[in-house]
Amino acid sequence: MVILKYEPETKNVKNLKGPCVVVIHAEWCGHCKDFMPVYKNEIVPSNNFDEELKNLLTLTSIEDKEYSNAKDIFGDIDGYPTIRYMTFDQSGKPLKDNNGAIVKIDAENIPRKAKAVTEWINTVVKNDVQQKHKKHNHAHNNKRGMRGGSKKTKRIVKRIVKRVVKRVVKRTKRT
């Protein structure tokens, strides 16, 4: 079973860190009244999440009253319920792109059923986490390259240089 972090109702958004699926809902909304029991009773406790998301992903929800006070954090929505994937930094601020816009992905055009939402979470979050991991590794490898590379790379370069020097010495001896 994959255990995910769950914040039943987000009152203090500063507690959110890392990848997070947020359901923004309203108690007066009929669609929310249908979906929130599915979210709380079927999706959150399910063990249908990819192992990679264990201890990484937080599932939470925020009601329209709190959302109206935190629009700058969660961004605009088109309606209720909105299922949104976001990533928060260590201080609880949402990650932004180079233009300063909040990086978010909404679950659009998917049925509000447990299986469909769980599949969406697995696909979207897993892809995002893998992309961020690749970017991090690429940046790390570039930094290593700027410092001169790994020990293995240095040994290979040393051998190649040795061979080239031998060839040059042989050629200069012939002439």
Using pLDDT thresholds of 50, 70 and 90, give the confidence band for residue 12.
low
Can you give the pLDDT at residue 146? 47
Whether this model's pTM surpasses 0.75: no
pLDDT in tens, 164-174: 777 766 766 66
pLDDT in tens, 97-112: 888 888 899 999 999 9
CA angle 78, 81, 84 (to 5 degrees): 75
Percent of residues, the chain, with pLDDT higher than 90: 31
The CATH superfamily assigned to 5-137 is Glutaredoxin (3.40.30.10)
pLDDT in tens, 26-36: 999 999 999 99
Q: Which residue type occupies 90? A: Q
Cα 139–chain centre separation: 17
Using pLDDT thresholds of 50, 70 and 90, give the confidence band for residue 1.
very low
Alpha-carbon gap, residue 81 to 35, rounded angstroms: 8
CB burial class (10 A; 0-12, 13-18, 19+) of residue 146?
A: exposed
Tokens linked to 63:
């009601």
How many other C-beta atoms lie within 10 A of the C-beta of residue 175? 4
Cα-only R_g, the chain: 25
Alpha-carbon gap, residue 10 to 82, rounded angstroms: 15
Going from the C-alpha of 39 to that of each of 15, 73, 156, 161, the distances in angstroms are 20, 22, 55, 62
Please say if the pLDDT value at position 59 is more than 70: yes
Please say if the pLDDT value at position 10 is more than 70: no
CB burial class (10 A; 0-12, 13-18, 19+) of residue 114?
A: middle
